[in-house]
Chains A and B, each alone.
Chain A
Amino acid sequence: MTQLPQTTERKLGLVIDLDTCVGCHACVVSCKGWNTENYGAPLSDQEPYGEDPSGTFLNRVHSYEVTPAEPDATAKLIHFPKSCLHCEDAPCVTVCPTGASYKRVEDGIVLVNESDCIGCGLCAWACPYGARELDAKEKVMKKCTLCVDRIYNENLPEEDREPACVRTCPANARHFGDFADPESNVSKLTAERGGMDLMPEMGTKPVNKYLPPRPRDAAPDMDVLTPLLKPVATEAKGFVGWLDKALSTLPGGKN
């Protein structure tokens, strides 16, 4: 049924730490590896070794450059993994005409029942985050399942009962837990580090939270007397100084 539940008993989701993500794409690979051979249709590739390779991924890592407004601050590079945010008010679910898309009452996971999916693509249109991809081979909508076939799987050792992306992350930048429980690891991390929503203005109420990068440490002064030291010359001297002056007098040469 494509009506959303009023509330869910648990709110399972991820915390992604943009401060510690190193952009290694291990989560992308482990996600594709697990999900292509477990829940639902495999994640196909088109021309994987050809001229124009493409394929279905449930998790993709972007990289962004952020230039602070302060004039002498340096730009930062931030790696940004993106997958389904398992929104509380998921627009992808309500637009589905067949009831294939649904949000689970017991844990809030948003799933697709692939045998009901007609591949119309409207749910992907409704998702602002690009979390859903129509598989070019299977013609059904694929999305992150939060590894629903791992987290409850009693055939796996207990330490493996978390999403493949979380299990594999070498930087420990991904955390899995229940946001409905204020004492859970993810709730605490979100509270401590100011976990944020993506596109809050869309009103989707994402469950997954992103931890902003911490401010960079400033290099400390070497000594209390450092500010009193003679500043390093900023004016050019000698031949270069003459050249600078001479060129500056030419029309258009001032700056």
Chain B
Amino acid sequence: MHPAPSVIIFTTFSGLGFGMLFWLGIGVHTPTGFTAFAYFTVAYLMAVGGLLASTFHLGHPERALKAFTQWRSSWLSREGIAAVAALIVMALYGAGLVFAATPFPLVGIIGAILAALTVFTTSMIYTQLKTVPRWNQWPTPALFMSLSLGGGALFVGQVTLAFLLLLIAAVIQGIHWVAGDSRLADSGTTLGTATGLGTMGRVKAFEPPHTGTNYLLREFVHEVGRKHAFKLRVIAFGLGYALPLLLLALPYSFLLAALAAIAHVAGILASRWLFFAEAEHVVGLYYGKR
């Protein structure tokens, strides 16, 4: 899959933003006044900024409101609704903390559930696709959820929570990579089943439909970027998980926590780039590519 910057930024930052809103809503930390304002500003910048980035890859963003209508069947539609609902409810909760220094626990909990639901619906947009076997597995929602909650806890300054959740996320990331590597082969989809000619013998793509490229190849076939996949996995794992875990294990200081947060974001951006670049869409088979 083409690793478009808009979706990488969207999934990374809105995941962190909604993760922050989850913990603020749960009430593990109830800042008030100006401190609360600072926390909610960071959370909203990441959550809303990510959502706005995702609209950049739309062909017709002016019709985006129509995307709220098909929640019965579409995970993308459900995500839009969950995101807006979470942002509205958490704005009420945040207003209580900032202006009245009063937490409304029920509002916070509803907002937290909606925030977690938003991240889950995001992950299901990818998980539902049978056409991308690497995404079509249970570790995908588990990874998105654990990263959002772990990263959110890190940004809310909850050291123990962040440590535990990032540890879990690191394990799921490993499972996602290792299990993902054999998903295409295990899916049973080959050029033979794609063309129905597999029963006759070994099928080889002889000639593509056109000499030039096309939308399908640009969007779904990304072989070049996978060349450095292993190195990038090491970088993503080191920055996104290992370094933050090490820094969080040291005696707490604001500087170390800030460093952990920065390393985590950089690592997760790299891991999200790989999430797209390494994902093989079965349509590539028709072109003799992955």
Stretch of B53-61, B85-93, B176-184, B225-233 contacting A (4+ beta carbons < 8 Å): B53-61
Contact A67 B201, beta carbon cutoff 8 Å: yes
A7 at the binding interface (Cβ < 8 Å):
no
Known: A52-B213, A128-B130. A64 touches B204 (CB 8 A): yes
Known: A126-B129, A201-B189, A213-B200. A99 touches B69 (CB 8 A): yes
Contacts of B57 on A, CB cut-off 8 Å? 120-121
Within 8 A of A (CB), among B172-222: 187-189, 191, 193-197, 199-210, 212-216, 219-220
Interface residues on A, range: 35 or more
Q: List 16 A-B contacts (CB under 8 A).
A: A18-B197, A64-B197, A64-B205, A65-B203, A65-B206, A66-B201, A68-B201, A75-B201, A80-B195, A95-B128, A100-B66, A120-B59, A125-B132, A129-B283, A198-B195, A212-B196
Contact A94 B60, beta carbon cutoff 8 Å: no
Contact A134 B59, beta carbon cutoff 8 Å: yes
- A125→B188 CA distance, assembly (Å): 19
Contact A57 B209, beta carbon cutoff 8 Å: yes
- A95→B78 CA distance, assembly (Å): 10
Contacts of B66 on A, CB cut-off 8 Å? 97-100, 116, 118
Contacts of B191 on A, CB cut-off 8 Å? 64
Residue in B194, B203, B213, B219 whose CB lies within 8 Å of A199: B194
Residue in A54, A96, A118, A202 whose CB lies within 8 Å of B130: A202
Give the Cβ gap from B183 to chain A, nearest Cβ, in Å.
Answer: 13
- Binary B-proximity of A131-142 (CB < 8 A = 1, otherwise 0): 001101011100
Give the Cβ gap from B185 to chain A, nearest Cβ, in Å.
Answer: 13
Give the Cβ gap from A139 to chain B, nearest Cβ, in Å.
Answer: 3
- A70→B287 CA distance, assembly (Å): 25
Give the Cβ gap from B129 to chain A, nearest Cβ, in Å.
Answer: 6
Contact A95 B76, beta carbon cutoff 8 Å: yes
Nearest A-chain residue to B78, judged by Cβ: A97
Residue in B195, B197, B202, B216 whose CB lies within 8 Å of A130: B216
Contacts of A57 on B, CB cut-off 8 Å? 209-210, 214
Nearest A-chain residue to B213, judged by Cβ: A54
Chain A residues close to B by CB (< 8 Å): 1-3, 18, 28, 52-57, 60-69, 73, 75-78, 80, 82, 91, 93-100, 116-122, 124-130, 133-134, 136, 138-140, 196-203, 210, 212-213
Residue in A99, A140, A198 whose CB lies within 8 Å of B60: A140
- A107→B219 CA distance, assembly (Å): 31
Contact B75 A134, beta carbon cutoff 8 Å: no
Which of A55, A67, A116, A199 has the most chain B CB atoms closer than 10 A to its own CB?
A199
- A246→B188 CA distance, assembly (Å): 50
- A88→B207 CA distance, assembly (Å): 30
Contact A66 B286, beta carbon cutoff 8 Å: no
Contacts of B283 on A, CB cut-off 8 Å? 127-130
Chain B residues close to A by CB (< 8 Å): 1, 57-61, 63-64, 66-70, 72-77, 80, 125, 128-132, 187-189, 191, 193-197, 199-210, 212-216, 219-220, 281-283, 286-287
Contact A117 B60, beta carbon cutoff 8 Å: yes
Known: A63-B207, A64-B203, A69-B201. A97 touches B76 (CB 8 A): yes
- A197→B198 CA distance, assembly (Å): 12
Contact B63 A69, beta carbon cutoff 8 Å: no
Give the Cβ gap from B159 to chain A, nearest Cβ, in Å.
Answer: 38
Nearest A-chain residue to B284, judged by Cβ: A130
- A122→B281 CA distance, assembly (Å): 13
Contacts of A78 on B, CB cut-off 8 Å? 195, 197
Give the Cβ gap from A117 to chain B, nearest Cβ, in Å.
Answer: 7
Residue in A2, A127, A140, A210 whose CB lies within 8 Å of B196: A210
Given contacts A77-B206, A98-B70, 7 further A-B contacts (CB under 8 A): A2-B72, A67-B204, A96-B74, A99-B70, A125-B220, A202-B189, A212-B197
Give the Cβ gap from A31 to chain B, nearest Cβ, in Å.
Answer: 12
Contacts of A73 on B, CB cut-off 8 Å? 201
Known: A116-B63, A199-B282. A94 touches B200 (CB 8 A): no
Residue in B69, B80, B125, B206 whose CB lies within 8 Å of A122: B125
Give the Cβ gap from A87 to chain B, nearest Cβ, in Å.
Answer: 12
- A206→B214 CA distance, assembly (Å): 24
- A122→B75 CA distance, assembly (Å): 10
- A238→B272 CA distance, assembly (Å): 69
Contact A121 B219, beta carbon cutoff 8 Å: yes
- A156→B51 CA distance, assembly (Å): 48
Nearest A-chain residue to B208, judged by Cβ: A62
Contact A98 B216, beta carbon cutoff 8 Å: no
Give the Cβ gap from A178 to chain B, nearest Cβ, in Å.
Answer: 22
Contacts of A91 on B, CB cut-off 8 Å? 129-131
Known: A57-B214, A130-B286. A124 touches B196 (CB 8 A): no
Nearest A-chain residue to B279, judged by Cβ: A125
Give the Cβ gap from A74 to chain B, nearest Cβ, in Å.
Answer: 10
Contact B74 A199, beta carbon cutoff 8 Å: no
Residue in B68, B206, B219 whose CB lies within 8 Å of A64: B206
